[in-house]
Amino acid sequence: MTEAEIVQRLRAAGSVFAEREAAVLIAEAHDADQLEAMVARRAAGDPLEQVVGWAEFDGIRFAVEPGVFVPRHRTEFLVQQAVRLGHPDSVVLDLCCGVGALGAAVRARLGAGVELHAADLDPAAVRCARANLRAATVYEGDLFDPLPDELRGRVDLLLANAPYVPTSDIAMLPPEAREHEHPIALDGGADGLELHRRVIAGAPAWLAPGGRLLIEVSEEQADAAASLMADAGLWAHTELDDEDDDVTVVVIGRRPV
Ligand SMILES: C[S@@+](CC[C@H](N)C(=O)[O-])C[C@H]1O[C@@H](n2cnc3c(N)ncnc32)[C@H](O)[C@@H]1O
C-alpha cells in the first residue's frame, strides 16, 4: 500500500488531516500487515491516538489506551494559566486526570521541584497516568475520595478538566469521542456542571491559602461556574482564549490567604 493510497483511504473515510495521519501511521507501523490493520482501524473511525497508542499534548507524548479520553490541544490554555500562577515548588493536583497530561505539562514547564498528584475514577485512565507520570502519585477513585489526608490544605494548583458536556449534547459530539471514549469522560450531567459542583464544593479543603482551582468549561457555563466558586468562598475570575475559531474558557478560583 503506497502513501498516496493510504491518504486516499483516510480521506474517503472522512479524515480532514489525511496526509498527516498517513505519515504518522507509516512511521508507527512495524510491517505492512500492521500498517494495513492500523489504516483499517483509522478508516473505521477509531481516533488516531488510540490506533497508535499515544497522543501529543503541549509537546509531550502520552500513552493512551482504547476508551481513555484523548487530551485536547485546547486544554493547553489551562496549562498556560496554571504555569503563570505557579512556582517551581508548587504542589499540583490533577483531578479527573485522564492520561495525566495536564499535571505532566505543568510540571514540565514549572520544573522538577513540583510535587505532583493525580486522580481519576476510570481504572484504564489511572493505568495510563501511572505509565505516563514518573515521580508522581496517581490515585484511583471518585474525585477527592482517594486522596491522602496529608494533602489537605496544601494544594497550590488544583487542575480539573472534568467532563462538561451536557447529557443532551452528547449525541452531537463527533463519533470519535462518542463511540471511542468512555461516557464518564464526556458526560457532565444535565447542565454539564454536575462534576464541577462537587469539585468546587470540595476544593477549599484541599487548597493551600492563596491556592487556585482551575477548570475548563464552555462559554455558556462560565458565569455559573464562577458563581459556584464564589458560593464556595473562592475569588473567581475567567480567562478566555479566542485565538482559534473555538473559544476556550478557564475559570479560576483563588482561596483567600
Ligand atoms: C474530559 S476527561 C479529561 C481528562 C484529562 N483531564 C484531560 O484533560 O486530558 C474527564 C476525566 O474525568 C474522569 N472522571 C469522570 N468522573 C470522575 C469522578 N467522579 N472522579 C474522578 N474522575 C472522574 C474521567 O474518567 C476522565 O478521565
Pocket test for ligand 1, best of 61, 68, 69, 157 (most atoms within 8 A of CB): 69
Kindly state the cell numbers that stand for 80: 498556560
Contacts of residue 109, defined as CB under 8 A and 6 or more positions apart, other chains included, come to: 58, 79, 83
DSSP 8-class letter at 126? H
Q: According to the model, what pLDDT value does residue 250 have?
A: 98
Strands across the sheet containing 248-254: 136-140, 115-120, 91-95, 155-160, 207-217, 248-254, 235-241
In this prediction, residue 35 has a pLDDT band, given cuts at 50, 70 and 90, of very high
Q: According to the model, what pLDDT value does residue 241 have?
A: 95
Pocket test for ligand 1, best of 121, 206, 221 (most atoms within 8 A of CB): 121
Q: For 192-249, write each residue's pLDDT tens digit.
A: 999 999 999 999 999 999 999 999 999 999 999 999 999 999 999 999 999 877 899 9
Ligand 1 and 129: CB distance under 6 A: no
Counting from 1 in the atom list of ligand 1, the atom nearest the Cα of 94 is 6
Q: How many CA atoms lie within 13 A of 207 on its CB side?
A: 27
Ligand 1 and 122: CB distance under 6 A: yes
Phi first, then psi: what are they for 42, rounded to 5°? -65, -40
Counting from 1 in the atom list of ligand 1, the atom nearest the Cα of 145 is 20
pLDDT of 53 > 80? The answer is yes
Give, using CA atoms, the residue closest to atom 18 of ligand 1: 142
pTM of the model: 0.95
- Ligand 1 centroid–CA 69 distance in Å is 8
Pocket test for ligand 1, best of 96, 99, 126, 199 (most atoms within 8 A of CB): 96
Q: According to the model, what pLDDT value does residue 131 have?
A: 97
Kindly state the cell numbers that stand for 110: 514549572
Q: Say which residue the cell 469522560 belongs to.
A: 185
In this prediction, residue 150 has a pLDDT band, given cuts at 50, 70 and 90, of very high
Q: For 154-201, write each residue's pLDDT tens digit.
A: 999 999 999 999 999 999 998 889 999 999 999 999 999 999 999 999
Q: According to the model, what pLDDT value does residue 1 have?
A: 86
Helix, strand or coil, per DSSP, at residue 144:
coil
Give, using CA atoms, the residue closest to atom 9 of ligand 1: 71
* Amino acid of residue 61: R
Phi first, then psi: what are they for 139, rounded to 5°? -110, 150
